[in-house]
Structure 1
Amino acid sequence: MQSVRPETFTVACLYITLNSAVIPPILRYLYDPSRMYAGYEKRNVQHLKLNSELRILSCIYRTDDINPMINLLEAICPSRESPVAAYVLHLLELVGQANPIFISHKLQKCKTEEMSFSNNVILSFEKFRKDLYGSVSVSTFTAVSMPDTMHGDVCMLALNNTTSLILLPFHQTWSGDGSVLISDSNMIRSLNKSVLSVAPCSVGIFVYKSSHGRRNINDTVLNMSSYKICMIFLGGKDDREAVTLATRMSRDPRINLTVVRMVTVDDKVKEKSEWDKMLDDEHLRDVKSNASVDILYAEKAVLDATETPGVMKSLAGEFDMLVVGRGKGRKSVFTDGLEEWSEFKELGVIGDLLTSHDINSQASVLVIQQQQLMI
């Protein structure tokens, strides 16, 4: 038995160290798996052609997510002239199984009456399709995978079906009257944040607090009233995407849309770049001049960010749903200093305010992030 020379042993140790400590980080730097979902083409609601099909990927985490998500899809106003293609993905955590499973229920041979991973989801969305026959098409999928890779299932399905919007339920759920928090999943929160960071299209996080005391859109027919939606506009690309989606919602005669633009009392204060301001003004001008929809436009003047929570509280009590842009990285006089107090960064400053305990509103909140293009 020959002994290993010290020089050979030293070289071997250095080689092993190089392989385990240096090469993997270099490979991770050179190859980023998330780039396969990167957006090089515009896939969002704002740049969708007029009356073209809107493709939406709706994610379902729990049974409680089904009815709120169907209500939201119906509020987006599918019609024969401007249909909605809904791709519904039921996400389940992989437990006690070696391999992940991805199921397309259109290709599944067994009938829906038989045992299925997602029987409630399939039947509920099939009824939704039949209720809006000709205006909505539905394709249902189930993904059973590890929490760390679930965002890949979401983004790949969105990429393959060229969707313009991914809808994600919020990670918290409340009791029927919205007073008691009954579920708070860190896994779902982490999944939502991962999708936001790499999604190939726009993303919306839907916060639904109460099924009691807050109507859904179908209740307006029985009450001879309107479903009240407010879009709060601060400026920026996320807000432009959000107001575009809200404008589409207002095509439904049952929906009453109010667009509230935040403005500064002091005209000398510059809360955004001149280019962004020009884009915002032009976009809102198009919204207000749109003859096919009836929109109430209002402006709320504030001195600084200390007045913003009070404005949000007053608006939250008046509407059934609030639509806002996420505004990641936005520097604004309306939110300056409030970022430090945000509990859920994925909702943005305004979205976090509207869902906070201080405001204590039972209104639904939809937070929109426009597609992040890779340039």
Structure 2
Amino acid sequence: MKQETFRKRKPKIVVIGGGTGLPVILKSLKEKDADITAIVTVADDGGSSGVLRRSFNAVPPGDLRNVLTALSEIPELQREIFQYRFRSDDQSLSGHTIGNLIISAMADMRGNIYEAIQLLAKMMHVKGHVYPAAEEPLNLHARYMDGTTQCGESQIPKKGKMIDVVSVTCVEEERPVQASRKVVSAIMNADMVVLGPGSLFTSILPNIMIPAIGKALIETEGKVVYISNIMTQLGETEGLNDADHVKVLHKHLGTKFVDIALTNIGDVPQDYIEQEENEEYLLQVEHDFKGLKEEVPMIISDDFLLLTGNKVYHNGEKVAEEIFRTAFNSQRKMKEYL
């Protein structure tokens, strides 16, 4: 009887990151019978998010907006309105999305970003939970291999140097960075914690460099999965293969905490690599099976490519299926062990 009850419980899957890759995976995971929690970076300082961050001295809303939209079950038209971006010639509203303005206004009304996001999640019929990694904007700092430093998520890749390590600090005061409420408990109670996909140094690491989140990733009994990027990124990961990505994660927390690496082995067509519109992305990330085996106990490799228009994405449906199956099997094995 206990075994049957257990099998009916939804696997608890926590996804951590930011950028454009995270919503792709979340949108597909939403269709699975899983209890989803998204933990979203708050170190962005570029574009519309950066302007609103400086104007309101508040958490940048862009990544949170995309995650809310991905997990929302409101009609398509309402999602399109939430994601609508004003044209560049609209003067004071130039480049802003309606969703960014709504999130900033709601945070101002409620007095904090956490309550604002929870209220919006209810209004948007979000399937799952969405938490900012911290409840205040953070500064991202990078030290390059040559010993020089740079502050600012949007500025770090522009130096064109190899990054050694990154860290985060509070914007206004010199005090320890605190994780947002419920973030640590979500990680500790998860069956699986997924990192990425997303920019390694500027979307994933800003979250895990929050001390309480890093500690929880090391201590959780849930399996930690890293989804390797498909393409290298200018100013971030040139010359790094998939094993190198995992090594960077382990270096930052000082221990091997990733249990599973999910990596693409499908070949990206050359004409996609040469697209000028994708100049931020340089070459396909090479697969180093031997190197990965030295870093993680388990590797999931397959053709995870989705080629749309002139851009390369992860096939969210295939990735979500692998994540869900592995989380469910891990959950079942834990029950059998107990």
Tell me the TM-score normalized by structure 2.
0.34
Bigger radius of gyration among the two: 1
